[in-house]
Amino acid sequence: MKVRPLQDRVVVKRIEEEAKTKGGIIIPDSAKEKPAEGEVVAVGSGKFNEKGELRKLDVKKGDRVMFGKYSGNEIKIDGVDHLILREDEILGVIEK
């Protein structure tokens, strides 16, 4: 199944955090929080401004992004959890 987000929406796949701390303590699944990082899988075409011009999104497919803990709507694509977010819900792009 393919999902094409509309306007300023972005489809993000969460990136799982390490299950072990730096000190070697293993964190059980029940104590883990949902990760607030993900990889952009698909982006919409952009949003029209007041002048009627299409403004492209600042993020692109493959970008690693940070978002709020309770941002977006969760969906399943081919059995894998993803999020659909608006561009303004993305807090930043992580650069390597």
pLDDT tens-digit map of 35-58: 688 999 999 999 888 898 999 989
55 vs 23: CA distance, rounded Å: 46
The pTM (predicted TM-score) of the whole model is: 0.77
Q: Which domains are assigned to the chain?
A: 9-17+29-94 (2.30.33.40)
Q: Count of alpha carbons within 13 Å of 78, Cβ hemisphere only? A: 4
Task: For residue 31, give the 3-state DSSP assignment.
Answer: helix
Cβ–Cβ under 8 Å, residues 17 and 32 = yes
Q: Please indicate whether residue 35 or residue 64 has the higher confidence score (pLDDT).
A: 64
So what's the pLDDT on residue 44? Answer: 92
| pLDDT > 80? residue 80 | yes
